[in-house]
Structure 1
């Protein structure tokens, strides 16, 4: 039986996913699900680094004005430029260095 983090690593080695897509793939629902996955991704980033791999981050982007956020493991709530909440989630993928 694989742990949740092992499942996330396996998925991210295949292709890129957003936090919402990972929640669907892992059949996780309810409040706090995204926060749990984001915490897992922070730990996974260190785990894969030791294996000679890297967690790539495609940064979040505002769908209204196009503002691109920093590439970091978090889900922004509002655009600092236009204040829109219409944000494209960051996407994550694991690749060899």
Structure 2
């Protein structure tokens, strides 16, 4: 039986995922599912450094005006430029260096 974080690592080594896609793939439901995924990604990022791997982050982007956020492990709620809440979630992938 693999831990949730081990399952996330396995998924991210195959292709990129958004937090919503990861929560669906792992069967997590409810309001706090994305928060749990983001906490796991932060922990995974720290452990990957020791293994010679890196967590790649495609930053969140505003779907209305195209503003690109900083590549962070978080989901913005509002665009600072146009104030839209129509935000494309960041995407994550693990790459071996």
- For Structure 1 versus Structure 2, the TM-score category normalised by the shorter chain is over 0.9
Q: Which residue number in structure 2 is paired with residue 33 of structure 1?
A: 33
Query: What SS does structure 1 have at the residue aligned with 2:56?
Result: strand
Q: Which residue number in structure 2 is paired with residue 76 of structure 1?
A: 76
Q: Which residue number in structure 2 is paired with residue 54 of structure 1?
A: 54
Query: What SS does structure 1 have at the residue aligned with 2:47?
Result: helix
How far residue 47 of structure 1 moved from its aligned partner, in angstroms, is 1.0
- Structure 1 residue runs of 4+, over 2 Å off? none
Distance 2:50 2:2 in 1: 19
Q: Which residue number in structure 2 is paired with residue 8 of structure 1?
A: 8
| Structure 2 residues without counterparts, runs of 5 or longer | none
Query: What SS does structure 2 have at the residue aligned with 1:17?
Result: coil
Distance 2:32 2:16 in 1: 22
How far residue 49 of structure 1 moved from its aligned partner, in angstroms, is 1.0
How far residue 48 of structure 1 moved from its aligned partner, in angstroms, is 1.1
How far residue 80 of structure 1 moved from its aligned partner, in angstroms, is 0.3
Distance 1:49 1:17 in 2: 20
Distance 1:28 1:19 in 2: 11
